[in-house]
Structure 1
């Protein structure tokens, strides 16, 4: 692996699929005149990529944009059909997915590695970079050790470099169940406050036993914010009103 800071990104045309049509996307379209965060990973649908790497970038994408970034790109040596399906599966609408199917861009970045031992063939080493007008300003390259290290190419490390004082979105989880009016009220209150949240639906994503284990309660909704148990819809309204008053 080679650090490419201060150099231009490779000149590549990516073959992408938009609906039923093929669409060529060039590196000029992606990088020219723009500030771009790109993170590259070994493969779509793989464990670390799906559970940690991609979700956090998707979550922090609005914060990156508030910090002057024009777009956040996820790149992998996969074809466009796989990348499009992965985007749908992950609901990662804040991210631009780029398929480097032939590995041309990854090879030009000196990040193409052989993963034949896993049956993958040639894939990208895991890294992230900040690109200004087509020139690499900063790269975070995972250490060259055995396995699939994930230590420095994460979204939080990149955001800390780009804007150390950036305010990150709150981590909010709502335990709910279908047909629950109080759940609908709580979700509406969060949306009106401009707060994103993850919803865990009992009977689909978790059981009542799971709810009792984490909250000690048997009623829904149960809301958690940044690791703190808020409680139900009434307690959430008190929390939001308190936060609003403190910010006034």
Structure 2
């Protein structure tokens, strides 16, 4: 049975326990929703596969593009406690996403999207969905179809950005291999930051090995920079690229 639409629905006036400055504090309905236009995406659990590999990372990558379309904040909601949600966000380096720990499932139940996942040992969890909430009212929602397993078809960040602005352009996907203490790596990261780009840093000796770098790029020197899947090269090549634009 398909879930009922929540478009036009007032979101539950619940509060959330969040972890800040070494303790738990209340984040009220007004703090999150009153007088604001926010994006909320909801997922079954922190540290679960799709949530960690795709759902959260892509929202973090597109956060600036989404906010440019009249969005004040972006929140991720899950039926997890505040400590788990805070640790997960830090592990994911998702600095542009705020958490809504719905530990007791009150918000999810109130909006009609609390589901029973007891068959896989999860208990009650929220269904996967995303929504734009304008001053506490759901402007638009994208609820995953009621299928077995964990469908992930419509609540993604790219679908949300397309709704907000069909002509919006997603930012370039940038990754670079670096080594601690490398001055050329430092300059490359500075340049990317100056240009307003986010990037994923892969640190040799921590995240991967020199052998992996050579296998992927055919190079042993760092940095090695990829943009949208294309190997650009090192710092000098990056500077040449931006000088030509």
**TM-score scaled by structure 2?**
0.95
C-alpha deviation, 1:165, in angstroms: 1.7
Partner of 2:203: 201
C-alpha deviation, 1:23, in angstroms: 1.7
Q: Contact (CA 8 Å) 2:18, 2:99: kept in 1 or not?
A: no
Alignment equivalent of 1:70, drawn from 57, 69, 72: 72
Measured against aligned partners, the alpha-carbon deviations of 1:145-194 in whole angstroms (never above 9, x if no partner) come to: 11111111000001100111223221111111122222222222222222
Alignment equivalent of 1:214, drawn from 210, 213, 216: 216
Mapping for residues 143-182 of structure 1, pairs under 5 Å: 143-182=145-184
Cα distance change on mapping 1:203 and 1:22 into 2, 3 Å: closer
Distance in 2 between residues matched to 1:25 and 1:186, nearest whole Å: 38
Q: Contact (CA 8 Å) 2:38, 2:71: kept in 1 or not?
A: yes
Alignment equivalent of 1:27, drawn from 16, 26, 29: 29
**TM-score scaled by structure 1?**
0.94
C-alpha deviation, 1:19, in angstroms: 2.0
Q: Contact (CA 8 Å) 1:177, 1:183: kept in 2 or not?
A: yes
Measured against aligned partners, the alpha-carbon deviations of 1:69-127 in whole angstroms (never above 9, x if no partner) come to: 01101000011111111111111111110111110110111111111111110000100
Partner of 1:49: 51
Partner of 1:114: 116
Q: Structure 1: 5+ residue runs without aligned partners?
A: 244-248
Distance in 2 between residues matched to 1:95 and 1:126, nearest whole Å: 17
| Aligned length in residues | 243
RMSD of aligned residue pairs (Cα, Å): 1.3
Mapping for residues 10-21 of structure 1, pairs under 5 Å: 10-21=12-23
Q: Contact (CA 8 Å) 1:2, 1:111: kept in 2 or not?
A: no
**1:81 and 2:87 equivalent?**
no
3-state DSSP class of the match of 1:86? Answer: helix
C-alpha deviation, 1:29, in angstroms: 2.1
Distance in 2 between residues matched to 1:191 and 1:15, nearest whole Å: 33
3-state DSSP class of the match of 1:39? Answer: strand
Moved more, 185-194 or 34-43: 185-194
3-state DSSP class of the match of 2:75? Answer: strand
Distance in 2 between residues matched to 1:86 and 1:216, nearest whole Å: 34
Partner of 1:246: none
Q: Contact (CA 8 Å) 2:41, 2:76: kept in 1 or not?
A: yes
Distance in 2 between residues matched to 1:40 and 1:77, nearest whole Å: 9
Distance in 1 between residues matched to 2:91 and 2:238, nearest whole Å: 30
Q: Structure 2: 5+ residue runs without aligned partners?
A: none
Alignment equivalent of 2:193, drawn from 191, 212, 216: 191
Q: Contact (CA 8 Å) 2:37, 2:70: kept in 1 or not?
A: yes
Measured against aligned partners, the alpha-carbon deviations of 1:199-240 in whole angstroms (never above 9, x if no partner) come to: 111111111222122212222111111112111111111001
**1:90 and 2:106 equivalent?**
no
